[in-house]
């Protein structure tokens, strides 16, 4: 059972803006990257086939609060934790750490979706093999 994941990510030049810092929208891309890496670490893809059919994860809500800026070539540690888990949704919280200091913190609520008989995407119960290996992280 997994409830957290850590990865390092370096700020690239193209991700900065004219204020000289990582553009605030890119923190959401970093949060998606660590979420996907978490899934791969479990042997799954976020957009994959399972025994129960095609599924994916839609974003229902995303938030980020910024304490200190990140700059070009900063190597930030992304620390993802599973904060909530329901039958059709997972809420992740990701802390952004620079040299051990938290510089930002965000969350993403992801809803499991699958194609229904008419080919439309609908919220769906997550596949049992995913459900079986992800759990809520203990309170820190």
CA dist., res. 78 & res. 73, Å (int): 15
1 vs 19, which CB is nearer to a second copy?
Answer: 19
Report the SS3 class of residue 3. Answer: coil
Least distance (Å) between residue 20 CB and a second copy? 5
Buried-state track 40-50, b at ≥16 Cβ within 10 A, e below 16: eeeebebeeee
22 vs 134, which CB is nearer to a second copy?
Answer: 22
Least distance (Å) between residue 124 CB and a second copy? 15
Binding interface with a second copy (CB under 8 A): 12-14, 16-21, 23-26, 28-29, 32-33, 36, 40, 45-47, 56, 58-66, 69, 71-73
CA dist., res. 132 & res. 65, Å (int): 31
27 vs 130, which CB is nearer to a second copy?
Answer: 27
Tokens of 59: 């974003």
8 vs 24, which CB is nearer to a second copy?
Answer: 24
Least distance (Å) between residue 138 CB and a second copy? 26
| Residue 44 DSSP class | -
Least distance (Å) between residue 50 CB and a second copy? 16
Cβ-proximal residues to 132 (8 Å cutoff; 6+ apart), any chain: none
């Amino acid at each position: 059972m997994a409830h957290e994941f850590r990865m390092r990510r370096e700020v690239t030049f193209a991700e900065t803006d004219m204020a000289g810092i990582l553009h605030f929208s890119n923190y959401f891309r970093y949060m998606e990257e660590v979420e996907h890496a978490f899934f791969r670490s479990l042997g799954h893809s976020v957009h994959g086939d399972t025994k129960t059919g095609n599924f994916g994860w839609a974003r229902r809500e995303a938030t980020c609060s910024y304490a200190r800026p990140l700059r070009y070539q900063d190597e930030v540690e992304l620390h993802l934790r599973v904060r909530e888990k329901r039958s059709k949704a997972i809420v992740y919280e990701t802390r952004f750490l620079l040299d051990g200091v938290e510089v930002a913190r965000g969350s993403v609520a992801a809803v499991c979706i699958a194609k229904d008989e008419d080919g439309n995407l609908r919220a769906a119960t997550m596949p049992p093999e995913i459900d079986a290996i992800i759990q809520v992280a203990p309170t820190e």
